[in-house]
């Protein structure tokens, strides 16, 4: 069941260009079984049509204090609106509206509803990079956060001004995840600490070259988001990746080498309830890291001498006390047998096998095809799916085993 099933979402839209993306969010929320009521500032109605939002939300869209009645205007009860919602999400939240919220300026229906709302409030800021970074705006955001408003991060990238930087509203799917995370705090993994390793590691040969692999970190990030949606406290330890980690709201530690990943993992391990090792850790590193770039014609460097990196997962297995430990196996031959051996030799509770045999599965792809193998050797194969859907499958299996 979706975490959003039956949830009442009051959705405030203020006048920024990112408003054009909100119909997609409304559609996704309705699809997940949520009820949605939309309130817009007058400026927002210039950016996105109220009719679109009313069709998608299956509710009347409100933007003024009164609506014309038979003989005279009828008052819109903003207090009742504020009492209706389980959560009030304001997205996009412009600098102007953030300022109005911070200063209790009741200049439109949305602000009146905000000031009278009793439910939790979440805002997704959206503005130009300099406006976002401006000390006055940051002060307003800090004021709201101190008052208990959930202030979401912004994403980096191209802005309507033509500039590029921090200020973009989170995309509708990221907003959806934030809402799921919010409602997930009453969910099955509430209070559990989950440690996830992800991405590749890079082992330096010299200042410009390294030994690495094609891991993108996408599977580990999908697992981290899913764990959060189930209410867990998530620590993600991730190697070099192109993924924008600034939009994640879990604890993220970026590392480069296997050694650094091991240090970070072991620092968190004692307090961990469930650990998932999705990282593709380099198995070897150069014995010597050269301080200067190795020249093309350097005859001494025709052969690279390697030493083993720490096997982080094996170390977690050896030191296991109460932790539920899940590894990944990427095999090319005799897959099931190798994965089962790994499960035993590393003292795991489960292992996720992904095969390179499938053209759209594994490294770098947005999709994956897995088989989940539990401690008793029971294997459950799944179809090729998006990595987000795979993460859901993995956690549904974990929840079956994990008391």
Kindly state the tokens that stand for 36.
């949605």
To ligand C5P, the closest distance from the beta carbon of 51 in angstroms equals 50
Q: Please, what is the minimum distance in Å from the beta carbon of residue 281 to ligand C5P?
A: 3
Closest CA to 197 of 231, 165, 159, 237: 237
Q: How far is the CB of 265 from ligand C5P (least distance, A)?
A: 8
Residues 6+ away with beta carbon under 8 Å from 301: 294
* Contact (Cβ atoms closer than 8 angstroms) between residue 208 and residue 226: no
Q: Which residues pair with 323 in a beta bridge?
A: none
Phi-psi category of 176—alpha, beta or left, where left has phi over 0 and alpha has psi -120 to 50?
Answer: alpha
Quote the least distance from Cβ 310 to ligand C5P, whole Å: 6
Question: CB of 262: closest distance to ligand C5P in angstroms?
Answer: 8
Q: Which of 288, 282, 338, 331 is nearest to 308 (CA)?
A: 282
Q: Which residues bind ligand C5P (CB under 6 A)?
A: 197, 258, 277, 279, 281, 283, 309-313, 327-329, 342
Please state the closest distance from residue 399 (CB atom) to ligand C5P, in A: 20
Determine whether 368 is an active site residue: no
CA distances from 240 to 193, 210, 222 (A): 23, 12, 16
Catalytic residue among 96, 137, 193, 213: 213
* Count of CB atoms situated within 10 Å of the CB of 104: 9
Enumerate the active-site residues. 213
């Amino acid at each position: 069941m979706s975490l959003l099933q039956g949830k009442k979402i009051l959705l405030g839209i203020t006048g920024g260009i990112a408003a054009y993306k909100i119909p997609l969010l409304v559609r996704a929320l309705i699809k997940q079984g949520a009820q949605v009521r939309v309130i817009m500032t007058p400026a927002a109605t210039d950016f996105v049509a109220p009719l679109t939002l009313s069709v998608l939300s299956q509710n009347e869209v409100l933007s003024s204090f009164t609506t014309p009645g038979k003989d005279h205007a009828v008052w819109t009860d903003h207090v009742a609106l504020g009492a209706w919602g389980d959560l009030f999400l304001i997205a996009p939240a412009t600098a102007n509206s953030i300022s109005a919220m911070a200063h209790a300026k009741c200049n439109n229906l949305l602000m009146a509803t905000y000031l009278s709302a009793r439910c939790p409030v979440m805002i997704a800021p959206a503005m130009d990079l300099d406006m976002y970074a401006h000390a006055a705006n940051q002060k307003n955001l800090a004021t709201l956060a101190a008052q208990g408003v959930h202030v979401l991060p912004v994403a980096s990238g191209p802005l309507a001004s033509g500039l590029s930087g921090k200020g973009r509203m989170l995309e509708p799917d990221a907003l959806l995840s934030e809402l799921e995370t919010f409602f997930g705090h009453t969910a099955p993994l509430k209070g559990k600490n989950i440690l996830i390793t992800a991405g590749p590691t890079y082992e330096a040969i010299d200042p410009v070259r390294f030994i690495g692999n094609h891991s993108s970190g996408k599977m580990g990030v999908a697992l981290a988001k899913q764990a959060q949606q189930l209410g867990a406290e998530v620590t993600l330890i991730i190697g070099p990746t192109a993924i924008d980690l600034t939009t994640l709201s879990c604890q993220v530690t970026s590392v480069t080498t296997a050694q650094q990943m091991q240090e970070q993992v072991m620092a968190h391990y004692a307090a961990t309830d469930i650990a998932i090792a999705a990282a593709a850790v380099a198995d070897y590193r150069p014995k010597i890291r050269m301080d200067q770039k190795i020249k093309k014609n350097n005859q001494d460097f025709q052969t690279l001498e390697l030493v083993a990196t720490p096997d982080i997962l094996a170390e977690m297995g050896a030191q296991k006390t109460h932790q539920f430990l899940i590894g990944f196996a990427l095999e090319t031959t005799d897959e099931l047998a190798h994965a089962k051996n790994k499960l035993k030799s590393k003292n795991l509770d489960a292992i996720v096998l992904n095969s390179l045999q499938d053209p759209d599965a594994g490294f770098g792809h947005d999709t994956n095809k897995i088989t989940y193998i539990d401690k008793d050797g029971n294997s459950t194969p799944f179809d090729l799916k998006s990595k987000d859907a795979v993460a859901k499958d993995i956690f549904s299996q974990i929840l079956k085993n994990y008391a």
